[in-house]
Amino acid sequence: MEVQDDDKIILSGNAEGPEDYDLGMARLTADGILDTSFGTDGITVTDINKDIDQVEDAALQPDGKILVAGHTAGADFPEFLVVRFMNDVVSDPAVIINPLEITNATVQVSFMPNAACETYFALISTQAEMEMWSNWLGVTIDSLVQMWGIEKTEAFTHLWTEQIPNTEYTIYARPLDANGVAFPLNTINVTTLTGGGNGLAEIQVAVTQITDSSARLIATPNAETAVFFDGLITKEYFDEIGQDSAVAVIKDNGYPQYDTDDWVWIDLFAATDYYAIAIGKNALDAWGPATIVEFTTLEPVGIADPVETQTANSISPMPNNGMFTFTTPGSQTGSIRIFNTNGQIVFEQRVSGDQPVIDARHLSNGLYHLHFTSESKAITVSEKLIITR
């Protein structure tokens, strides 16, 4: 018995022919009813040499054709035979999704399109996130998969990283036929493993790139850490509420982290003392010690002009495939940072000129935030960036 991608069932064996036993096959629907589009009323009988034909085994090729192996009566001894049947009743395009390896932060999956699938798009996300973007953008989840998914025409294996531990994800594949017509999504759910160990959760904290209004905080958890939280608090507020309360504020900030958190904090007060705080817990929910690093923002270098926020014609084209031009205000020189939806910096580039070309094609399809800061820090531009292929 073999099962096709569309869940139809192929049965093979011996069938009584006009003169002797012949090769027999039947195809059933997923409900176990004879599929009348196959053979004659769902059954086909094939006589190889007007003698006994014996079926031993059968298999489906990736293109849907059926291979039957067995033997047939020879002059003196049975002879080996292999027969291929076209099985040319085309199924709807579909993709078999097979999870291979799942860790606390990665999901590796193989995809196998059937013969009717000309191309397909593969994506991983939580159901809640897909519903949120569907409502926010006013499109269907099927359309989101095609907008943001990885486009393929053949079987392939992909490893998704930076996933959230102990979280249920849906893996999507949207198949299209040779005419570009999309068919219903193929999906499968997987759950990432719980991260961390049973030992002491500790976080290393580094504060770099300190200016008069920003600082870059890099928090790196050890292998025992299952989840952690980090953030900034002014020294004045820290001293006012005390260390325990300050750490509790960070614990309750609502932004759990599972891997190194690399974040640039902006709109800080100049010449002000801050504490960078990070604290995590292990897989047993036991909190480790808080890491606290003190730093001071720089003195202001001048009087800044009001911040300009531009929302039109800065990025072109939009959406794009990761290669785009960015119009800097007044041909200002400055720096671009691109953040993902978790707030992590995924791209940085210094720019100058009116329309510098940005090449961020290594980024996956999805929504990002682009932040431009002029060299004088007098002008900033923040825009949404949508990458789709």
Helix, strand or coil, per DSSP, at residue 115 = coil
Reported as a single tens digit per residue, the pLDDT across 332-362 is: 788 888 887 666 778 888 887 666 788 888 8
328 residue type, one letter: T
What value, to the nearest 5°, has the Cα angle with vertex 27 and ends 79 and 156?
Answer: 85
* pLDDT the model gives residue 29: 84
Q: Rounded distance, CA 22 to CA 297, Å?
A: 86
Q: Which helix (H) or strand (E) holds 3?
A: strand 2-3
Mean pLDDT of all residues in the chain? 84
Reported as a single tens digit per residue, the pLDDT across 234-245 is: 999 999 999 999
Exposure of 357 by Cβ count < 10 A (0-12 exposed, 13-18 middle, 19+ buried)? Answer: exposed
Reported as a single tens digit per residue, the pLDDT across 86-107 is: 765 445 788 999 999 998 889 9
Query: Which of 21-25, 29-33, 351-355 comes out lowest in average pLDDT?
Result: 351-355
318 residue type, one letter: M
Q: Rounded distance, CA 386 to CA 147, Å?
A: 10
- Count Cα neighbours of 164 within 13 Å in the Cβ-side half-sphere: 13
| Domains by residue range for the chain, with CATH | 2-85 (no CATH), 95-191 (2.60.40.10), 203-296 (2.60.40.10), 315-387 (2.60.40.3080)
**Above pLDDT 90, what percent of the chain?**
37
* pLDDT the model gives residue 303: 43
* pLDDT the model gives residue 353: 65
Reported as a single tens digit per residue, the pLDDT across 287-322 is: 999 999 999 999 876 544 444 444 445 788 888 888
Helix, strand or coil, per DSSP, at residue 283 = coil
* pLDDT the model gives residue 102: 93
Q: Which of 43-47, 78-82, 94-98, 162-166 has the highest mean pLDDT?
A: 94-98
Q: Rounded distance, CA 119 to CA 128, Å?
A: 26
Omega before 306 within 30 of 0, i.e. cis:
no
Q: Rounded distance, CA 387 to CA 385, Å?
A: 7
Q: Which helix (H) or strand (E) holds 134?
A: helix 127-137
Q: Rounded distance, CA 201 to CA 283, Å?
A: 9
Contacts 24+ apart (CB under 8 A), 301-308: 301/212, 301/377, 302/376, 304/376, 304/377, 304/378, 305/378, 305/379, 307/379, 307/380, 308/379, 308/380, 308/381
Decide if 44 contacts 76 (C-beta within 8 A): no
* pLDDT the model gives residue 305: 45
**Cα R_g (the chain), whole angstroms:** 30
* pLDDT the model gives residue 341: 65
Locus of tokens 């035979």:
81
Q: Rounded distance, CA 378 to CA 386, Å?
A: 26
* pLDDT the model gives residue 204: 97
Confidence category of residue 217, pLDDT binned at 50, 70, 90: very high
Reported as a single tens digit per residue, the pLDDT across 163-180 is: 888 899 999 999 999 889
332 residue type, one letter: Q
Task: Check pLDDT > 80 for residue 37.
Answer: no
* pLDDT the model gives residue 75: 55
Higher pLDDT, 144 or 316: 144
Mean per-residue pLDDT, 367-380? 76
Write a three-state SS string for 62-93: CCCCEEEEEEECCCCCCEEEEEEECCCCCCCC
Task: Check pLDDT > 70 for residue 40.
Answer: no
Mean per-residue pLDDT, 180-205? 93
Task: Check pLDDT > 90 for residue 221.
Answer: yes
DSSP state of 6: T
Q: Which of 46-55, 158-167, 271-280, 324-333 has the highest mean pLDDT?
A: 271-280
Q: What are phi and psi of 237, to 5 degrees?
A: -70, -40
